[in-house]
Amino acid sequence: MKLTKEQLLEMFKKMVLIRQFETRVKKSFADGDIPGFIHLSVGQEAIAVGCITNLRNDDYIVCHHRGHGHLITKGGNINFMMAELYGKKTGYCKGKGGSMHLADMDINMLGAHGIVGATVTISTGAGLSAKLRKSGQVTLCFFGDGASNTGRFHEGINLAAIWDLPVVFIIENNFYAEATSIFYSTRLKKLSDRAIAYGIPGETIASNDVLEIYEKVGKAIDRARKGKGPSLIEIQTYRHFGHEEGDMETYKKKSDIEVWMKKDPIDILKKYLIKQKFLTEKEAEKIGQEAIRKVEEAVKFAKESPYPAPEETLEDVYA
């Protein structure tokens, strides 16, 4: 499906919003306002936006621990997100989950998960459910290069394959599982080659270009929706920051950083939009300012929100 100018600008705005959200979270964490662990997706925005823009509202996503951008793209409320990161009662999970477990069942975002690879098997269930209910819903399953070395990657994708489940598995290959290079942890050059083992299509997108991601993942989603089964798509990208905030990133190569900084996904889309005369520098600047304003509003909402009462600890264990 060809994207309209409005859709393209919407994608740009989402990517900018994710960038500003993450950048502000980095500051709040450094200031000591956000407790716990924070995994930022700066540099990887094209994947969340390129993949999820293809979805119907009732489609599902299941997300890894670096999932702020995915929830924003699916239509999440950044006030509730920020409040959750701050540990507040008004947060998405009432302060019980934090950054690693953001979830919004109302928009079929089935949660971010802190156990690497867990999304693979959970996604098969959402896929099977859609198939049994004949709902036509597709599930997008996100996980990192590290997860592709886990046993559940094998079991889950195999199950989705034999049952032709409407699931698209997305490997966000940012080349590092924490501090361990993917070139150390597998002999493969292309992680999508693993699809061969399951008899399903596999494709590697070696690009931070959101439009290329949109188009290629869109084909896999269409295929899944037609009942033709799952696909495995590796998308190569780069996280601009560490695995988590506080990571000194001693494992990264300076030459790699230089290469990837020139492939910033927001710059790529911006250049395209300007070339197409859909956007001017001035308008881009305005979009950035608007994103900052929204994020500051979210921070204000989070800061002014109350903490949950301590005894709320005991609630929500059982239905």
Partner 1 sequence: MRILTYREAIIEALKEEMERDPSIFIMGEDIGEHWQGSVKEFEGLWPKFGSERIRETPISETAFVGCAIGAAMTGMRPIANVMFASFLGVPMDEIFSQLTKMRYMFGGKTRMPVTIMCLSGGGMNAAAQHSVCLEGMLMSIPGLKMVSPSTPYDAKGLLKSAIRDDNPVIFFQNLFLTVTGFKGEVPENEYTIPLGEAVIRNEGNDATVVAIGNMVHAALSAAEKLKEENINLEVIDPRCMAPLDEKTIIESVKKTGKLVILDEEPKTGSAASEIAAIIAEQAIEYLDAPVKRVCAPNTPVPFSPPLEKYWLPNESKLIGAIHSII
Give the interface with partner 1 as residue ranges (CB under 8 A). Answer: 60, 62, 91-97, 101, 103-105, 108, 110-111, 113-115, 118, 120-130, 132-133, 139, 151-152, 155-156, 158-159, 162, 315-319
Nearest distance from residue 288's CB to partner 1, in Å? 32
User: Residue 20 and residue 292: Cα distance in Å, rounded?
Assistant: 6
CB-nearer residue toward partner 1: 38 or 268: 38
For residue 260, give both structure tokens.
Answer: 């990837």
CB-nearer residue toward partner 1: 1 or 319: 319
Tell which residue, 82, 90, 95, 107, has the closest CA to residue 294. Answer: 82
CB-nearer residue toward partner 1: 156 or 229: 156
Backbone angles phi, psi at 266, to 5 degrees: -75, -40
Nearest distance from residue 126's CB to partner 1, in Å? 4
CB-nearer residue toward partner 1: 94 or 190: 94
Nearest distance from residue 311's CB to partner 1, in Å? 15
User: Residue 110 and residue 104: Cα distance in Å, rounded?
Assistant: 7
User: Residue 206 and residue 235: Cα distance in Å, rounded?
Assistant: 6
Alpha helices in 64-150 (DSSP H): 68-74, 78-85, 118-133
Beta-carbon contacts of 313 under 8 Å, excluding residues fewer than 6 positions away, are none
Backbone angles phi, psi at 65, to 5 degrees: -75, -10
Backbone angles phi, psi at 73, to 5 degrees: -65, -35
Tell which residue, 146, 152, 183, has the closest CA to residue 66. Answer: 146
User: Residue 232 and residue 193: Cα distance in Å, rounded?
Assistant: 9
CB-nearer residue toward partner 1: 111 or 229: 111
Nearest distance from residue 234's CB to partner 1, in Å? 20
CB-nearer residue toward partner 1: 127 or 146: 127
CB-nearer residue toward partner 1: 230 or 265: 230
Beta-carbon contacts of 3 under 8 Å, excluding residues fewer than 6 positions away, are 11, 211, 214
Nearest distance from residue 58's CB to partner 1, in Å? 10
For residue 1, give both structure tokens.
Answer: 């499906």
Nearest distance from residue 139's CB to partner 1, in Å? 8
Contact status, residue 235 vs residue 47, Cβ threshold 8 Å: yes
DSSP 66: S
Greatest Cα pair distance, the chain, in angstroms, is 56
Nearest distance from residue 156's CB to partner 1, in Å? 5
Nearest distance from residue 65's CB to partner 1, in Å? 12
User: Residue 293 and residue 24: Cα distance in Å, rounded?
Assistant: 11
CB-nearer residue toward partner 1: 127 or 242: 127
